[in-house]
């Protein structure tokens, strides 16, 4: 059973860079899309971006200019960097594994394994 363990700094000042890492244990690193999702206090889920094992990335257009997601296949880890943070970036940040495929001309996508979340607070 795949497990995700995530870590990173929880308190940042405005304009600093958020940096989180997620390690994949107990399963294959290839064949999946590894995502970062965040949830501001009292609000819904927002997808930040994803990377696959070969390093191909997709980002949320609203965050693309500030986000970098990278992968270290030698360690089965992927990381998130979000620069120039503001109070609006205060949220719980999750990593998750995504699977995509097609069944009789209909696609599917789901995230079946999630990290426990890291609370990131941006405050001066």
Which residues of the chain form contacts with other proteins (CB under 8 A)?
35, 37, 44-47, 50, 58, 60-61, 94, 98, 100, 103, 106-112, 114-117
Nearer to other proteins, 96 or 122 (CB): 96
Nearest distance in Å: CB 33, other proteins: 8
Compute the least distance from the CB of residue 28 to other proteins, in Å: 18
Q: Which is nearer to other proteins, 74 or 107 (CB)?
A: 107
Bridge partners of 18? Answer: 82
Q: Nearer to other proteins by C-beta: 16 or 63?
A: 63
To the nearest whole angstrom, how small is the minimum distance from the Cβ of residue 92 to other proteins?
8
């Amino acid at each position: 059973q795949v497990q995700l363990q995530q870590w990173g700094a929880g308190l940042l000042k405005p304009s600093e860079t958020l940096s989180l890492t997620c390690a994949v244990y107990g399963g294959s690193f290839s064949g999946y899309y590894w995502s970062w999702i965040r949830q501001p206090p009292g609000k819904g889920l927002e997808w930040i971006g994803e990377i696959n094992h070969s390093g191909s990335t997709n980002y949320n257009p609203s965050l693309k200019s500030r986000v970098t997601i990278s992968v270290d296949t030698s360690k089965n880890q992927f990381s998130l960097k979000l620069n120039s943070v503001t109070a609006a970036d205060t949220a719980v940040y999750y990593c998750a594994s995504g699977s995509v495929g097609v069944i009789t001309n209909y696609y599917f996508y789901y995230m079946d394994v999630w990290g426990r979340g890291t609370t990131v607070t941006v405050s001066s």
